[in-house]
Structure 1
Amino acid sequence: MRTIRTVAVIGSGVMGAGIAAHLANAGIHVWLLDRVPERLTPEEEAAGRTIRHPDVRNRLAREAIIRLNKTNPAVFFEERCAELIRIGNVEDDLHRLKEADWIIEAITERLDDKRELLRRIEPVWTPGMVVSSNTSGISIAAMAEAVGPELRSYFLGTHFFNPPRYMPLVEVIPGPATKLDVLSGMKQFLGHRLGKGVVFAKDTPNFIANRIGTYGLLVTLRLMAEQGYTVGEIDAVTGPALGRPKSATFRTLDLVGLDTFVHVAKNVYDHASDPAEKATFDTPELLADMTRLGWLGEKAGQGFYKKVKTDTGSRILELNPATMQYAEASPVKAASLEAARAAKGAAAKCRALLGGEDRYAELAWEVVKPVLLYAADKADEIADTIADVDKAMRLGFNWELGPFELWDAIGLARSAARMEAEGAIVPDWVKRWIEAGNATFYKRENGSRRYAHAGQYVQLVDDIEHLSLRGLKDKGRTVLSNGGASLIDIGEEVACLEFHSPSNAIGSDILTMIRKSVEEVRRHYRGLVIANEGRNFCVGANLMLLLMEAQEEEWDEVDRIIRVFQEAMMELKTAGRPVVAAPHRMTLGGGVEVCMAADRVTAYAETYYGLVEAGVGLIPAGGGTKEMALRAAETTAGGDDLQPAVNRAFEVIGMAKVSTSAPEAVRLGLMRSADRTVMNRDRLVHEARRTVLELHRDGYARRSGESVRVVGREGKAVLLAGAQSMREGGYISEHDFKIARKLAHVLAGGDVPSGTQVTEAYMLDLEREAFLSLCGEPKTQARMKHMLSAGKPLRN
């Protein structure tokens, strides 16, 4: 992996600024440079500025930073990341490039402009410094012609997808002379340090993901025009029912921007030699008309969809292409779509949809068929392997299945035969593969995934230290298992507790497995990792079960459920072996409490982490409130005033705050400063295991019950005064205030004198009493019911 400490990004537009922000997220110092503005703004004139003033000359980069800080969703892990970005311009600060280990060109998509910039970079460039272009489709070889052979050997394409923080794909495009060690070093850096999924793409128009994705969108647009489908019908079929994002076809186009999409499509049109391909990438009349009208999508306020305000709120209207008018969308219902919704997993959904016999099943086939054939026809031209093609589509377009994975899911031989029967031309290499007796492009063998390449199956190799729990289970490494969780031997005398209940919600099966796992680890392992490969780590406890028991007024059963949860968390905390939790994405309520019971947390950077029980009318009672009080005491162990730390904990729990990243969870006090952040999710289990081994090597000592210094009755009064002020200001409801009173009582340690040391068991009793009391409140039960039915909090 290359050592990169400072990066210069030239171009502060959407992509350049976004890349700079994500580099700062990774702790890298960034110079963000742009051109010098040609004229003053009215505000600058009024302030008496001249074109020579630094504020004027750096205006474009400075405005980019302001824009980044206002972007939603947030581009920075936390606000202070912005401090790592320094701004400048390419006239006054070009010499700053000498400080950089990597220069990224992210200016406008015009070949001549990019070549000119590279010529300006070359005199200040030093050997060893990597230079790359963030182009979305311009030839890397054509750009490289602008510079000498030495710089060419360090020049490549690094195509980030927008927004750079959230989209995991980076396509790396070698130039004709790029050194192999530069390519391998950058792949490692992008994967490890920036958390990206990297594919090598060949230097062809639009590379891999945009080439296939744009083709598929254009095919779908033409199907709509030819067969009279509505915008809503197309999106109903081309979204999750086909293993694709909810934005489907037309919401995706609105998000991307129709002008941007037309530009990307035109790049293939301009460079394609095949007349049929050229015709496909010609701009459809509908897109041309919408672009002329300025209906460019979300950034213009209207595209294929338009949001309008009404007396009762707002509505989303869809475009009728025949009339160019917006109207209320009609519900789209069909047996094939219902079958897809009911199916579990992307492969099963696709089979269910394409196996139907209605017009929507036929539409799905007419969308899928040309994309599979095009991907197979172009695979060797645009990529080294079909695995790279599939990975690019998963990571760049958020497809759950790449084209070759989708072909496997629907039946390779059967679907290829249907294509030929309908007059389509199946590429020769696919026919030879089928004739050789192969039923799929991919297969699993001895826990490893293999794919079709050069007429045989070859093993899929990942450069990232990826411990696949599924692969380990396929190899027979499961030690214990029940319906909610499994204990897996992950090597080096470390075990992993994996949740696999619906939504990874914590129920009796998981709690039972926690206790059994602790016993097993004590006898046979150095330590325990808690991780899983679900979409989210854990969305909390089984709320439905709690609501049912509360509505039946089975208070002894509710008390038993909470006791069992608390006891399981204390088992984890006092396991006698290092325990490391590895959360990712949504980690809420009970999921956070599991992590708090661990010795360390090794979290994926994109972890959205919070004790959200107040949103359903409760307080954390699996040890979460107790742990927040304990952490407040830890931060003031030197004798500092404890109250401010408890106030912060009260606010975080009472407002049900959820971090927008793992680093922000540390700032909120939900994680500790010793906890780690991992940028690449594929490395998460590996890094968590490494932390277990480090703790074991350093002489891990078993934890026992800790004492907690609390603020007591005096501190509780301070907390309640703040809550009372919020109630009087109309910021919280009467029921919110009732929850706040219970929370304040627990966090403060009850009515003991300030500074009293209390036990964890005492704090857990307070938690459980408060929780039981709130469960009996009708408004709490209403909140629980609303969350289960609507998926969002009820403010009552």
Structure 2
Amino acid sequence: MSQKMLVRRAAVLGAGVMGAQIAAHLTNAGVDTVLFDLPAKDGDPNGVVQKAIANLAKLSPAPLAGKGLAEAITPANYETGLEQLKTCDLIIEAIAERMDWKQDLYRKIAPFVPAHTVLASNTSGLGINALASVLPEELRHRFCGVHFFNPPRYMHLAELIPANTTDPAVLQGLETFLTTALGKGVVIAKDTPNFIGNRIGVFSILSVIHHTHAFGLGFDEVDALTGPLLGRPKSATYRTSDVVGLDTMAHVIKTMADTLPADPWHAYFASPAWLQALIGKGALGQKTGAGIFRKVGKDIVVLDLEKQDYRIADRAAAPDVVEILKLKNPAEKFAKLRESSHPQAQFLWACFRDLFHYSACHLADIADTARDVDFAIRWGYGWKLGPFETWQAAGWQQIAQWINDDIAAGKSMSQAPLPAWVTDGRTGVHSAEGSYSPARNAMVPRSALPVYQRQRFPDPVLGERFAPGTTAFENDGVRLWHDGDGIGVISFKTKMNTVSGAVLDGIQQAIALAEQQFDGVVIWQHADVFSAGADLAGALGALQAGQLDAFTAMVENFQRTSQRIKYAQVPVVSAVRGLALGGGCEFQMHSARTVAHLESYIGLVEAGVGLLPAGGGLKELATRASQHATGGDVFAELKKVFETIAMAKVSTSALNAKELGLLRADDKIVFHAHELLHIAKAEARALAEAGYRPPLPAHRIAVAGDVGIATFKMLLVNMLEGRFISPYDNEIAERIATILCGGKLDRGAWVDEEWLLTLERTHFVTLAQQEKTQARIAHMLKTGKPLRN
């Protein structure tokens, strides 16, 4: 059994952008964290760190998942604070990328590092064995590299780099901690410059730079080609460089040039003249407001090398090249790219060819298996497929033949021969048995570390299939399935997991079956969207066809489904990740417990489309306000959630959803998306084992009544006069207030759930018939954006 690593307290050395954000993410995960930097020259010695902590609130995307978390980080400095290291179980060094500085710091801290503590360097490319050489003997076996990608809260990849002296048990303990506690996808890299992600990723950028020039393309043109059309992020290549920082980019390229003199592609490891010129002018990209791209007024302009000036960024991917890229069959797509005489198609083939060539030649040096390379690029650079998966999907032998032809013709960036294993008759490097390891000359299965048993559906590489479980019930909207463990799983089948009539009926039937056959039920989705809410297109169709009775019946069915979830005779646990909007949010509110991934964006957003929550969401908030009201002050409880609903706010994290009152205090937050199902099942099982009974029907709900409604209306007057809301927003908000307060009753009157559900339904159906609401729904369906009418 692997050694368990207990991290009660952690230290991060270095309060720069990266160090501060690593400290923030440790704090998100509930780890007591001390952040160190140099002592301030004047004032409070911890001033440098205090400034860095304050700066976390200004960064976007937000490194901290909850409002008060910044206060939980302890500031310290290397002169007066080193004693604090004696209480830390994990120390992550994240200072500037200089070997001498890092080694000096290690010498300074070594006397304060406890005998059990793990020390890791967050370096993006410096040698781990070289760093370890200055450590005392007893600390070397607890030292390794851990490379987080920026921003650490959101980027899934963490590269773990053992030194020759690292104890395997220490490495396994850290891998387990990074996976479960911080939610990372861990890849083990060899101690070579830039490790895996940046070695392959930066080479890919360098090859794009080379071929941009060779084929005479514009930077905007290349970004149009190398973004979503290839299954890569919108920021594509050059915009990504601007975001990362052109100085950082140049530094990484220089590291490759300095540390890889024998690399057959070494001639290309140099910053082009235009990049050096931009850096010389201080145009470093996004952080300085100008780089390869910049904003002038409302226009985006791009550097044009021919004009030696900026021009409007308007060059797009050619229509016939777009048609090729849209082809579903990868083999056909690559054949057509290679055949085409269009410079854009030639450019793309050349970039892929050189990326495949480089990846194959270096696989044995940098990683154990091809899986590690593909995961590093997917998780670190946001590509849908890694280089080896792309190659294999397009036909391994045919692509290998074309690469060899281009090497022979002198077209490729290097004359280095492809390794012999590439052309040994194989059809690829990934199969159901595992992924290819050149060192072992075998297909190697995934890690057997116990932490990975918690992932029922891990991120698959090409060719991997995970058993879908046994179907117990299925209709057009949902599937109820199980693994023979007594817990049923309901998964939706609609696009974006929207809630259609078939989903509503399916949930009710699945719960009825689960009450007979299972101990508990989990609502969980394969996709990273829990549910984008009601099927607006279907609803709008019914309204425009004048089918008001059918529409009202659908709303009733929605409410019936929520209540069925709440009062099921077995515990229903919602496993939420990604979007949980509208009806999706209401379903989790009615479940016995919610288990939410940290990156859950939860909201009752109906006001944005001119409606209000009517799947029992407002009823549930009114009920909770009555239960939690101290001294009978229901209004004070309602006030906390009213603005969230009226302004259609969406949480920025699961922690923030608790702050907004959309998750309950005892709902669980999970850091690894692929552990969500495991933890939700455990939660359902624990509730069942404890003799679960659904809550008793709420017959006595105290409401804020007419006084509450009047008070909310006064708040809305100020918002209307300040033009924060439109007159129609105001009307919707007044209706929301009316329902939350239980209608025009006396303050403190008692109502039951049915009363509140009827109020919801009546106001919802009234709004749905308004022209302005129908215009909002139509606009949202057409543009994906809210209409303020």
Query: Which interval holds the TM-score relative to the shorter structure?
Result: over 0.9
AA at the equivalent of 2:353: K
8 Å CA contact retained: 2:230, 2:325: no
Alignment partners' CA distance in 1, 2:469 and 2:600: 30
Look up the match of 1:41.
none
SS at match of 2:534: coil
8 Å CA contact retained: 2:739, 2:760: yes
AA at the equivalent of 1:411: G
Alignment partners' CA distance in 2, 1:426 and 1:610: 55
Q: Is 1:641 the counterpart of 2:625 in the alignment?
A: no
Look up the match of 1:597.
590
Unpaired runs of 5+ residues, structure 1, are 39-50
Look up the match of 1:427.
418
8 Å CA contact retained: 2:369, 2:444: no
Q: What is the Cα deviation at residue 431 of structure 1?
A: 2.8
Q: What is the Cα deviation at residue 234 of structure 1?
A: 0.8
Look up the match of 2:131.
143
Moved more, 122-131 or 610-619: 122-131
Look up the match of 1:216.
204
What pairs with 1:37-56 in structure 2 (closer than 5 Å)? 37-38=40-41, 51=42, 53=43, 55=44
SS at match of 2:57: helix
8 Å CA contact retained: 1:416, 1:426: no
SS at match of 2:669: strand
Q: What is the Cα deviation at residue 142 of structure 1?
A: 0.8
Q: What is the Cα deviation at residue 186 of structure 1?
A: 0.6
SS at match of 1:9: strand
Look up the match of 1:115.
103
Question: 1:408-466: CA deviations, max 9, x gaps?
Answer: 22221222222222236663344345x1xx4232234xxxx732334443432463310
SS at match of 2:576: coil
Look up the match of 1:325.
309
Alignment partners' CA distance in 2, 1:5 and 1:535: 30
Moved more, 180-189 or 713-722: 713-722
Look up the match of 1:304.
292
Question: 1:745-768: CA deviations, max 9, x gaps?
Answer: 111111222223322222111111
Q: What is the Cα deviation at residue 680 of structure 1?
A: 0.7
What pairs with 1:381-530 in structure 2 (closer than 5 Å)? 381-423=365-407, 427-433=418-424, 435=425, 438-444=426-432, 450-453=434-437, 454-461=440-447, 463-464=451-452, 465-468=454-457, 474=467, 477-530=470-523
Would the alpha carbon gap of residues 326 and 481 (structure 1) be closer, same or farther in structure 2, given more than 3 Å must change? farther
Question: 1:88-114: CA deviations, max 9, x gaps?
Answer: 211111222112111111111111011
SS at match of 1:513: helix
AA at the equivalent of 2:418: P
Look up the match of 2:623.
630
Alignment partners' CA distance in 1, 2:466 and 2:536: 29
8 Å CA contact retained: 1:585, 1:606: yes
AA at the equivalent of 1:263: H
AA at the equivalent of 1:120: K
8 Å CA contact retained: 1:629, 1:649: no
Q: Is 1:8 the counterpart of 2:11 in the alignment?
A: yes
8 Å CA contact retained: 2:241, 2:285: yes
Would the alpha carbon gap of residues 239 and 23 (structure 1) be closer, same or farther in structure 2, given more than 3 Å must change? same
Q: What is the Cα deviation at residue 125 of structure 1?
A: 1.8
Moved more, 585-594 or 704-713: 704-713
Look up the match of 1:583.
576
8 Å CA contact retained: 2:595, 2:668: yes
Would the alpha carbon gap of residues 450 and 340 (structure 1) be closer, same or farther in structure 2, given more than 3 Å must change? farther
What pairs with 1:547-626 in structure 2 (closer than 5 Å)? 547-626=540-619
8 Å CA contact retained: 1:351, 1:409: no
Look up the match of 1:753.
746
Length-normalised TM-score, structure 2: 0.93
AA at the equivalent of 2:443: Y
SS at match of 1:422: helix
Moved more, 109-118 or 703-712: 703-712
Look up the match of 2:145.
157
Q: Is 1:664 the counterpart of 2:648 in the alignment?
A: no
AA at the equivalent of 1:71: L
Unpaired runs of 5+ residues, structure 2, are none
Would the alpha carbon gap of residues 349 and 495 (structure 1) be closer, same or farther in structure 2, given more than 3 Å must change? farther
8 Å CA contact retained: 2:118, 2:143: yes
Note the aligned Cα RMSD (angstroms). 2.2
SS at match of 2:594: strand
Would the alpha carbon gap of residues 336 and 569 (structure 1) be closer, same or farther in structure 2, given more than 3 Å must change? farther
8 Å CA contact retained: 2:378, 2:386: yes
8 Å CA contact retained: 1:632, 1:649: no
Look up the match of 1:251.
239
8 Å CA contact retained: 1:623, 1:764: yes
Q: Is 1:227 the counterpart of 2:218 in the alignment?
A: no
Q: What is the Cα deviation at residue 525 of structure 1?
A: 0.9
Q: 1:764 aligns with which of 741, 757, 765?
A: 757
Q: What is the Cα deviation at residue 533 of structure 1?
A: 2.0
AA at the equivalent of 1:490: D
Look up the match of 1:20.
23
AA at the equivalent of 1:467: R
Q: 2:710 aligns with which of 717, 738, 758?
A: 717
8 Å CA contact retained: 1:335, 1:356: no
Alignment partners' CA distance in 2, 1:356 and 1:191: 44
Look up the match of 2:534.
541
SS at match of 2:209: helix
8 Å CA contact retained: 1:336, 1:352: no
Alignment partners' CA distance in 1, 2:251 and 2:603: 41
SS at match of 1:686: helix
AA at the equivalent of 2:455: H
What pairs with 1:338-353 in structure 2 (closer than 5 Å)? 338-339=322-323
Q: What is the Cα deviation at residue 640 of structure 1?
A: 3.5
SS at match of 2:264: helix
Identity %: 39
Look up the match of 2:118.
130
Q: Which runs of 4+ in 1 moved over 4 A?
A: 340-344, 346-356, 469-473
Alignment partners' CA distance in 2, 1:144 and 1:452: 30
Would the alpha carbon gap of residues 491 and 18 (structure 1) be closer, same or farther in structure 2, given more than 3 Å must change? farther
Q: What is the aligned residue count?
A: 768
Q: What is the Cα deviation at residue 400 of structure 1?
A: 1.1
Alignment partners' CA distance in 2, 1:347 and 1:584: 31
SS at match of 1:276: coil
Alignment partners' CA distance in 2, 1:606 and 1:150: 39
Would the alpha carbon gap of residues 353 and 61 (structure 1) be closer, same or farther in structure 2, given more than 3 Å must change? farther
Alignment partners' CA distance in 2, 1:700 and 1:731: 45
Look up the match of 1:678.
670
Look up the match of 2:180.
192
Q: What is the Cα deviation at residue 520 of structure 1?
A: 2.0
Look up the match of 1:260.
248
Look up the match of 1:687.
679
SS at match of 1:384: coil
Would the alpha carbon gap of residues 625 and 350 (structure 1) be closer, same or farther in structure 2, given more than 3 Å must change? farther
Would the alpha carbon gap of residues 772 and 234 (structure 1) be closer, same or farther in structure 2, given more than 3 Å must change? same
AA at the equivalent of 1:431: V
Alignment partners' CA distance in 2, 1:353 and 1:330: 26
Q: What is the Cα deviation at residue 476 of structure 1?
A: 5.2
What pairs with 1:784-795 in structure 2 (closer than 5 Å)? 784-795=777-788
